[in-house]
Amino acid sequence: MSSIKVFESNPKGRDFVVGDIHGHFKLLASLLEKVDFNTQQDRLFCVGDLIDRGPDSIDVLKWLSEPWFYGVRGNHEQMLIDCLSGRGDINRHTRNGGAWLYALSPSVQNEIYNLLQTLPVMIEVNLSDGRKIGIVHAEAFLSCATQSWQDAKDAISGMRGESAQQQALKTALYARERIEQQNQAPIIGLDKLYVGHSTVPHVHTLGNVVYTDTGCSFSDGTLSVIDIVTGEVSHVSMRLLHDSLGAGL
């Protein structure tokens, strides 16, 4: 696992961040069409939880092979990795939308396992105007003294010791403390940090942390994408998708 992946600015096109996809890759395709996404110029970053619950989880293999699609590891990717490595709880994973995996052949399961293990825990993107944005699934592991993005990077990379690294990984995949406390304190060293994991009715900002998971795994939810430079939000409703499928469109 590469804990951190850094991207330089995109001189050719736009950069987008999308919330938790949860196996709804057809919905994602509709959303990219809505924003006129250009696969030759634009880039798409996902905040994790690409898989489980939705009908197209196996398509993660195809999407992650695209040169313009990037993601961080979410808790659902971690559940899959843990289960296939013999450390996880398969019944728990199945209850949380992972049944699709165990219907696949062992060779395909192994292919998905190997691919998801390559996902970084944190992504950093440098923008052409000098701003820097971060992406992590749940929360960044911050020092109480500094609230610094650099501290979070040092912890997840192992520079602060194994114990801090394990705590940083747990925080990155599972934490909800900031949103539960409605913490508005800014993270130092970033323009914005984009996260998922905690479902919100619409894209929501606390300090400079942007919550992007608008619940596409629920029948009344949406999948949202944000233009990183402009901040413009676009979304596609699950309800509209169900209506179109029901109409045979």
List residues with catalytic annotation.
76
Residues 49, 196 contacting (CB under 8 angstroms):
yes
Residue 25, classed as helix, strand or coil, is helix
Where does 19-157 have alpha helices with state H?
Answer: 25-34, 60-64, 75-84, 90-93, 106-117, 149-156
Distance CA 57, CA 60 (A): 6
Residues 6+ apart with CB under 8 A from 233: 202, 203, 224, 225, 226, 227
Distance CA 155, CA 91 (A): 31
Sheet with 222-227, edge to edge strand ranges: 69-71, 43-46, 15-18, 222-227, 233-237
